[in-house]
Amino acid sequence: MDNLKYPIGTFAPKTHYTAEEIAGFITIIEQLPVKLANMVNHFTAQQLDTPYRPQGWTARQVVHHLADSHANSYIRFKLALTEHHPTIKPYEEQLWAELPDSKHFPIQASMSMLDGIHARWVVCLRAMQPADWEKGFHHPEKNRVITLAKAAALYAWHCEHHLGHIKIVQTA
């Protein structure tokens, strides 16, 4: 079951990331919209409404979750770049995934959101200076500051993690 829940394994943060690793994270973030589109654009309605595991989200919910999550992350990056350790607002992603726009709405709106968010996010990421990667935001649920380097690593993992879920549905 863990292979279905975490098809690429769990996120394993490091205390430091090299410039080369960060460049790799940016590339993964940049490529998500195209990779996702290549996977889901030919899905049938039945495939979109297929969960990737028992009690898991459907492919449709995963697509909408990516748009929700990455919109939040992009804003968190901008807050951290313009404020000193801002406290972010966590959200109940599981509950968001149960709302009608996540469970039943066509994926095209979220795909368009991902295109726009990722295009702008990548411009922002590529313009960051080395010191910017040490800036961060306070996560109240974790009660610590998350550096932008660690957030980039997490979101690169997040891209691959959910592409793994979509691949499970694609190959089922």
What does the pLDDT look like over 51-83, one tens digit per residue? 999 999 999 999 999 999 999 999 999 999 999
138 backbone dihedrals φ, ψ, rounded to 5°: -85, 125
User: Which pLDDT belongs to residue 96?
Assistant: 98
> CA-to-CA distance for 112 and 67, rounded, in angstroms?
9
In a domain, 39, yes or no: yes
Q: Is the pLDDT of residue 2 over 90?
A: no
User: DSSP letter string over the chain?
Assistant: -HHHH-TT------S---HHHHHHHHHHHHHHHHHHHHHHTT--HHHHT-BSSTTPPBHHHHHHHHHHHHHHHHHHHHHHHHSSSPBP----HHHHTTSHHHHTS-THHHHHHHHHHHHHHHHHHHH--GGGGG-EEEETTTTEEEEHHHHHHHHHHHHHHHHHHHHHHHT-
Per-residue pLDDT averaged across 137-160, rounded? 97
Number of folded domains that form the chain: 1
User: Which pLDDT belongs to residue 37?
Assistant: 98
User: Which pLDDT belongs to residue 172?
Assistant: 87
Per-residue pLDDT averaged across 161-172, rounded? 96
CATH number of the domain encompassing residue 56: 1.20.120.450
Instruction: Please state, as a whole number, how many other Cβ atoms lie within 10 Å of the Cβ of residue 13.
Output: 13
Per-residue pLDDT averaged across 126-131, rounded? 98
In a domain, 157, yes or no: yes
User: Which pLDDT belongs to residue 48?
Assistant: 98
In a domain, 1, yes or no: no
Range of the structural domain that residue 152 is part of: 18-170
In a domain, 8, yes or no: no
In a domain, 11, yes or no: no
In a domain, 120, yes or no: yes
In a domain, 30, yes or no: yes
User: Which pLDDT belongs to residue 132?
Assistant: 98
Triad 164, 167, 172: Cα angle to 5°: 135
Q: Is the pLDDT of residue 1 over 90?
A: no
In percent, how much of the chain has pLDDT > 90?
98
In a domain, 49, yes or no: yes
- Average pLDDT of every residue of the chain: 97
Residue 33: pLDDT band with limits 50, 70, 90? very high
